[in-house]
């Protein structure tokens, strides 16, 4: 068994995009805590390989990797929770689909786990 990869389709909930972008930009600014959040997520078994926003109102697409033993439901709970992409705002509706690495032939990114 190995780590799993997920494709996540993010859609903003009505009226939440501006607040989310402001919160995200503050988090990524120097001293905003972004590096600590990434490190804590990695320790917990979650790693975001890419974030691909289409526009300021969404949607966005991500590829996440999860450590071996973490279920799809546990990943969904994480991504929707306060340590996931929502910053506790409930701004995104997150549709998570596991990538079938066997069909793809290779993982989409080098494994972190």
Looking at residue 23, its pLDDT comes to: 96
Rg over alpha carbons for the chain, rounded to the nearest Å, is 14
pLDDT in tens, 73-107: 999 999 999 899 999 899 999 999 999 999 999 99
Q: How far apart are CA 13 and CA 17, in angstroms?
A: 8
Q: How confident is the model at residue 90, as a pLDDT?
A: 93
Torsion angle in degrees (nearest 10) through CA of 57, 59, 61, 62: 50
pLDDT in tens, 5-53: 999 999 999 999 999 999 999 999 999 999 999 999 999 999 999 999 9
pLDDT of residue 107: 95
Dist CA 26 CA 94 (whole Å): 22
* pTM score, whole prediction: 0.94
Q: Is the pLDDT of residue 1 over 90?
A: no
CA distances from 87 to 33, 54, 65, 78 (A): 12, 20, 19, 11
Q: Is the pLDDT of residue 70 over 80?
A: yes
């Amino acid at each position: 068994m190995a780590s799993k990869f997920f494709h996540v389709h993010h859609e903003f909930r009505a009226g939440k995009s501006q607040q989310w972008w402001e919160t995200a930009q503050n988090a990524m600014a120097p001293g905003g805590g972004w590096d600590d959040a990434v490190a804590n997520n990695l320790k917990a078994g979650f790693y975001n390989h890419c974030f691909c926003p289409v526009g300021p109102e969404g949607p966005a697409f991500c590829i996440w990797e999860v450590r071996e033993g973490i279920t799809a439901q546990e990943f969904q709970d994480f991504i929707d929770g306060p340590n996931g992409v929502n910053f506790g705002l409930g701004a995104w509706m997150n549709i998570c689909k596991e990538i079938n690495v066997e069909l793809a032939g290779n993982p989409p990114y080098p494994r972190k786990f």
